Amino acid sequence: MDSLQQSGTASVERKEVKKPMVHRMEWLDSLRVLAMAAVIFYHFFPKSLPAGFFGVDVLFVLSGFLITATLLDEMIENKTFSLRAFFERRVLRLLPPLALLLLCILPLALFIHADFLVDFRRQLAAVFGFTTNWYEIFTGGSYESQYIKHLFLHTWSLGPELRFYILWAVALKVMERQSVSHRSGRRKRETTIAGRLRVNICFTSAVLFMGMTLLQWLLTLFNVNTSFRYFADVTRMAPFFVGSFVAGISGFKHQSMVFLRRAQKQSSIGSVAVLISVPVLLFVMAKCLDYTSAWTYVLGFPLVALLSGAFLYCARLVAQKPHGRYEPEGIRFLAKLTYPLYLFHWPFFVLLERHMSQPLAAIIAFLLAFLLSLCNEFLWQSLWFHRPLRLGKQTKVLTSLQRIAILTGCFCLFLFTSAAAFHREPAMLQMERQVWANGLEQDWETMQDLHDTVADQSQALREAKQKKEAAQLQKKVDKQKITLIGDSVSLVVRSSLVKNIPNLSVDGAVSRFLHQGADILAQKAKGGSLGHIVVIALGTNIYPNYQKQYQRILDALPKGHRLIFVTPFDKSKDKATESVQYTNFLRNVDKPYYVTLADWAKISQEHPEYYEGTDGVHFYGKDKAIAHFVSMLKTALQQSMKQPAKGEK
């Protein structure tokens, strides 16, 4: 039985279809470099290219194509492929640059600000386990919303990539055995085996891509957490299967008969037009969409994958015909550096951005990443793969003992710097420590004043004609006790609230969600510590079912009490975030007579200076913002007293 290498070619040759031997495909390196440039530019200047992360999906498509095409060629030539050898190649591709990254960054743990080391052990464990994407999902992280950016956040993409390698290689092994075990007549026909294998690859790839795309649509429709939609394997693996689909159709060294016929008939002009237009379209999408937009997940990700697949297919068609145009050597060289550049640029930029302007930090971070990428290419890889060291025009061959000694020293350096980082790892951010300190102070005062009568206090009305109303209002307020249930934003202003509103008791906590408000209100009512006026200052942290939680709070409020809702605010310009939707809901919902609205979101939009230099949610240290918040709450309390309490109407 002849080799499978001849599959799909004999019939074509009888029809005089010439098949040039292709050892590499032109323009794939150019697409790789452009995709990586988009990702790095997005990391440096997210506002200038808000969806530059599409470059990761382009790289995923390329990876799916190359992995599938390479294994398909191996199966055609050798009738099988080795899973062990494949996994060794993949790990040895991913691991050495990642090890060099850790060796360069971990020594900085002795000097960098302690905020970067919060939860550092779990971050490092996630890097080693290739589970950074799931770490970000469980901690609610992203490139755009973190107060302190994680040094290894960008390694999230290695997780889906490695798991694709494992799962897809196993799937290909199963397809290979099924194709070989299927008999046609009394003997196996190798051309049939290869064709059946291609069909299985294309069918499986199409089903997986459509299934994952449909899942992404459903998650977006039901407004599932953005972090999960962006980082999860089940949503972000889809581009790999576009690449594997193209590989099944076209192949790399060995093409199917259908593709060869198509290549013979297809004009190069159309293919070249696609090669030119696809990068332009990808740039337009990266410029118009952003991380929080629903269109990014419904349309952006699937379209980027399909356009990248079209680029690969047309590049394969062009490669079939002699054209005399080749990629510059500089592009090919840069393509070799894309992976280490991706690994090295991010942590340096995050560290430098804290101490200098964004453009300067970007320039220095890129130069450092480029130098380390060269070091990885010419020195570090040689240590791992026992190749001669290239030092300019000279080469140096290390003995096995020298190589082992250097790698052992690097490992010892890693252990020492890891221990130093763990020793310096704080329990929480500096801002969080202050917030927790305010929380402890609040708890102590609450225990002391649990059964005390709230002091009489009201705000004098400025206009003379309102003196009579002010006196009546004062008399009512004197008899009231006020309870504020809030989150970390309330803790930031807690001291000023208590100081300026003596009859106010604040119950705040870090990372408190809206759905906890009703439970806390009911618990205080049952314990007899609930004020006659209840202020709900939640919504920064929220799940999509805010309408239900709003109704639960109304139902939990006992009769004889009044209710004030404070609208939350975050600096995001996206109008589809849960906080923005909840704010609009509070403004437009038909509120009961005993409910008053304190619109902090409106005040914040009118005063963007309150959030300059902050994480966009907390206005810690902004004296004017804190004073305005206190004034707003005082006004809301007065308005609330003008309305009957629940059950009094």
pLDDT class for 490, splitting at 50, 70, 90? Answer: confident
Confidence band of 190 (pLDDT split at 50, 70, 90): low
- The 8 Å CB, 24+ separation contacts for 45-51 are 45/358, 45/362, 46/143, 46/144, 49/286, 49/287, 50/286, 50/287, 50/289, 50/290, 50/291, 51/285, 51/286, 51/287, 51/288, 51/289, 51/290, 51/291, 51/296, 51/300
508: β partners: 486
Q: Residue 324: what pLDDT? A: 54
CA quadruple 33, 36, 38, 40: dihedral sign:
negative
Q: Domains (ranges, CATH) in the chain?
A: 4-424 (no CATH), 430-641 (3.40.50.1110)
The verdict on pTM exceeding 0.85 is no
- pLDDT score for 221: 92
Q: Residue type at 127? A: V
Confidence of residue 495 (pLDDT cuts 50, 70, 90): confident
pLDDT digits (tens, 9 = 90+) for 558-570: 998 999 999 998 7
Q: How far apart are CA 547 and CA 514, in angstroms?
A: 10
Give the residue among 237, 263, 386, 239 at the shortest CA–CA distance from 316: 263
170, pLDDT greater than 90: yes
Which of 353-357, 455-459, 556-560, 566-570 has the weakest average pLDDT? 455-459
Angle between helix 358-375 and helix 83-105 axes, rounded to 10 deg: 130
Contact 379, 104 (CB under 8 A): no
Res 160: pLDDT? 95
Segment 31-55 mean pLDDT = 94
How far is 100 from 161, CA to CA, in rounded Å? 19
pLDDT at position 478, please? 61
Residue 159, class by beta-carbon neighbours within 10 Å (0-12 exposed, 13-18 middle, 19+ buried)? buried
Residue 188: predicted pLDDT: 47
Average pLDDT, the chain: 82
How far, CA to CA in Å, does 121 sit from each of 150, 416, 510? 12, 14, 22
81-95, 103-117, 388-402, 485-499: the lowest-pLDDT one:
388-402
Candidate from 238-242, 406-410, 574-578 with smallest mean pLDDT: 574-578
Q: Is the pLDDT of residue 463 over 80?
A: no
* pLDDT one-digit tens code per residue, 591-619: 999 999 999 999 988 988 888 877 778 88
Of residues 540 and 460, more confidently modeled: 540
Angle among Cα 70, 74, 78 to the nearest 5 degrees reads: 175
Q: Provide the 10 A C-beta neighbour count for residue 41.
A: 17
